[in-house]
Structure 1
Amino acid sequence: MSRSMIQAAVTMGQLQQKLDTIGHNLANSQTTGYKSRQAEFSSLLFQQIENLNHPANGTGRLTPDGIRIGSGARLGAINSNMNAGNIVTTDRMLDTALLRENYFYQIQVTENNVTEIRYTRDGAFYLSPINDNGDLMLVTKDGHPVLGANGPIVIEPGFDSIQIQNNGQIIVSRNGQTETAGSLAVVEVTRPRILEAAGNNMFRLPDLAALGYAFGEIVQAPANIDGMLKSGALEQSNVDIAEQMSELILTQRSYQFNARTISTSDQMMGLINQLRT
């Protein structure tokens, strides 16, 4: 296989991953609090070929002699765009939207007997019964507990109404009396690009020690979230459909050009094999 065919084949494989990323963004364009992902490419190992031996080529030349031939491109990283999406009013009492960027709700997730805290911007919450006494827990759409100041938020049954205030407090009404049942534990992630996508519209922290950070340097709990949260509203996805369609067209054309490189190289090799001395 020729060098050009190898370069094209390697690049096509990486372009397919970018197409998958664009498709994932388009599929989640209506997902509450979803953050679009961006694929970034980098060049693979290249080789400098010294094919300019004539002395005249060195006169006044500013670039290195010869030609530089690469081995294709690879997907360097897939980063999440943490810009805030539009806020849409729903008037549902358990819907909330964070008004500042880099602020997240904390969600307790247990998988394979391992419990960890994950972070999300999706503020659509629900109540789920947890025992025979009728106690209710505030959870996500997937049933994961939403963390408050003292852990998962558990509400005793028998209330007449419930509402999440703009300061994160959960107010319930019983027989004409109101009481605070808990408060959302919102945190600020000072370096959101560190977050890793964990699926189900959530993020997790990587091994901070390996990166040279302490937990308190990255995750901070604001003293007061009053004014940072809007009740009865949801943050929409920040996916720009027009931008994603443009990226889709460009990526498809790049894929086609690389495929044409392979077919053209194959045709050229076939013609060479037919030559007779």
Structure 2
Amino acid sequence: MQWLITGCSSGLGLYLARRILSAGHKCIATSRNPGTTPDYVAEIERLGGIWLPLDVSSNNLEKAIQAITENYGFIDVLVNNAGFGDGGPLETYSLEAGRAMMETNFFGPLRLMKALIPSMRERKQGVIVNVSSAAFWAPHAGVGVYSASKFALEGLSESLSTELAPFGIRVIIAEPGEMRTKFVQADKVSHLTIPEAYKGTPAEAVLNFITQRDGRQDIDPARVAEAIVQHVAHPPNSDLTLRLPLGTESLTFLTARAENLSKLVDASASFAKSCDFPKDE
């Protein structure tokens, strides 16, 4: 299988490229500016992979993907991994920053899928892996726009999973919790200032917690990469086909959400049904 991964300059993308190649697959690793990580580029190429520049928010993304497929052939597995996160109370969060995040975290994956689905459909095979987040199960205060970008990606992925199933195309949503990577670094979010009104609120507590855990996160990105590659190459015969919780943190959030949804069903059943037309009308 030939894989195409976005966002390989660090973190999960880099671990995925390594694991894919060690498993004997072909890998096209991409990043916005390969020149900033020459050692990683050399490593992946030494292992037999290809590393190409690709900016998922650029105006020429579709042309770049067309050139890649023309030069290197069909893509069997697309991994939409490129993304970034920051935070702050919504009232002080700039619309420019929000649009930039949606362009990278949501519209980039959307455009890549739109570009590659036709060839997968024609060949009746393909796998799309969209890297979401445990934030889907627990959208905390202070990271609303980031959570919204992942909710959008999850909704699109769930719809596509049934839309594309008749053509033999699988969609997988990977949902890792906080991994021990450089995704969040205290020095990179030092510009985030909490307004006085939000001091002592959940928004401040969440942002402090996230930045203070840098380098001490519980989830191993190498093990996450292994789980994703195994899930793609050897799909399980179980209900674990669309969403892939990765790490105890993600599982904990999922469990709490499931319990809350069960309570909601019980509490709202009669009220919800009261909005229907009577059955005899």
If the length of structure 1 is used for normalisation, what is the TM-score? Answer: 0.23
Rg comparison, structure with higher value: 1
- Which structure's residues are more often helix, by fraction? 2
- Which structure's residues are more often strand, by fraction? 1
If the length of structure 2 is used for normalisation, what is the TM-score? Answer: 0.22
Q: Larger relative contact order (C-alpha < 8 A, sep ≥ 6)?
A: 1
